[in-house]
Structure 1
Amino acid sequence: MEHPAVFVLAGGLVAGTFDIAYACIFWALKRGVPATRIFQSVAAGLLGQASFAGGGRTAALGLVLHYFIALSMSIAYYLVARRWGLLRRRPVLCGAGYGLLLYGVMNYIVVPLSAAGPGSKDPLWIALSIAVHVVLIGVPIALFTRRAQGQ
């Protein structure tokens, strides 16, 4: 049996990859924005607008920060699920709820308090972002957590 950390790590990496892939694809198709700029927008949470003048270094920082956040989300779910069995028994339902919670926390608390400035108000971006958080972030984290806890 594999160590639970393997599955918790996998949950964060899968969720983080789905999330960043979605952002890159959406903005590339909608406005021709390169992936580097998407990564820099994550780094802008720490560096503000200076992030966009930092080239590859700030893009790399943004990508590292993005995966750090995704891994933190996975670890948090795992730790709570150790104590609250419902999160393990109903991973799809609870994962969907967790994804919705994550969307709210990130977009109404974390980003506004960061140096990044306001996020996009594009209605399609918002609707798809909520769906992505529910289906491609929360649910995978919950499913990997269930596996980490031997179910």
Structure 2
Amino acid sequence: MTPDSVPALTRNHAVTAIAIGGLVAGAIDLTQACILFGWDIPLSIARGLIGARADQGGAAIYLLGVFLHFFIAFSFAAFYYAVSRRLRFLVEYPLLCGLIYGAAVQEVMSLIVLPLSALHARGPYSLHELIQGLLVHMVVIGLPISFSVRKFAR
């Protein structure tokens, strides 16, 4: 291996870790959301960007919601990867760090993303909703991302 190939190899590992982590987390999260809340969840996601126009439905708006969902999942995977380059314990302890990261993702979504979206969702949330959201995101978002980074971006 030449010194010139090291940056390309590192970049390839980053892309792989982010792509697999974001894809797995996004797919599991979207599937569980559709099972729990109905198959029109992508329309609700699109509503967060374009507002009430998403209620018109249609394939394009549905696909926009799916795209936005995966964009967010890949963004959270990229953030975890970037931080893991400085905080190596994120790679060394993926179970604990993934669970904590998933809880943090839930809080960022609830306290920042949703209130700033066209949905303006601010709660109040029931205790059941809070616990369910935390547990789901800890497992279906945090763990796939943390283990993907551990596997592909050491």
Asked if Structure 1 and Structure 2 have the same fold, meaning a TM-score greater than 0.5 normalized by the shorter chain, the answer is yes
Q: Over the residues paired in the alignment, what is the CA RMSD in angstroms?
A: 1.9
Which residue, out of 21, 38, 43, partners 1:40?
Answer: 43
* Larger displacement relative to structure 2 (111-120 or 90-99): 111-120
How much has 1:85 moved relative to structure 2? 0.6
TM-score by length of 2: 0.85
Task: Report the CA distance shift for 1:126/1:49 in structure 2 as closer, same or farther (over 3 A).
Answer: farther
Larger of the two Rg values belongs to structure: 2
Which residue, out of 141, 144, 149, partners 2:145?
Answer: 141
1:127 aligns with 2:131: yes
1:59 aligns with 2:77: no
Which residue, out of 8, 16, 32, partners 1:22?
Answer: 32
How much has 1:89 moved relative to structure 2? 0.6
- Once the two structures are superposed, residues 15-73 of structure 1 have per-residue CA deviations (whole angstroms, 9 ceiling, x without a partner) of 0011111110001xxxxx3x1x2101001111112111132211110000000000010
User: 1:48–1:117: 8 Å Cα contact kept in structure 2?
Assistant: no
* Larger displacement relative to structure 2 (91-100 or 115-124): 115-124
User: 1:87–1:94: 8 Å Cα contact kept in structure 2?
Assistant: yes
CA distance in 2: counterparts of 1:49 and 1:122, whole angstroms:
25
CA distance in 1: counterparts of 2:21 and 2:92, whole angstroms:
17
**Structure 1 unmatched runs, 5+:** 28-32
1:111 aligns with 2:114: yes
Q: Secondary structure at the match of 2:20?
A: helix
CA distance in 1: counterparts of 2:78 and 2:103, whole angstroms:
17
1:96 aligns with 2:99: yes
AA in 1 matched with 2:17: F
User: 1:81–1:87: 8 Å Cα contact kept in structure 2?
Assistant: yes
Moved over 3 A (4+): 119-126
1:77 paired residue number: 80
1:9 paired residue number: 19
Identical residues among aligned pairs (%) = 38
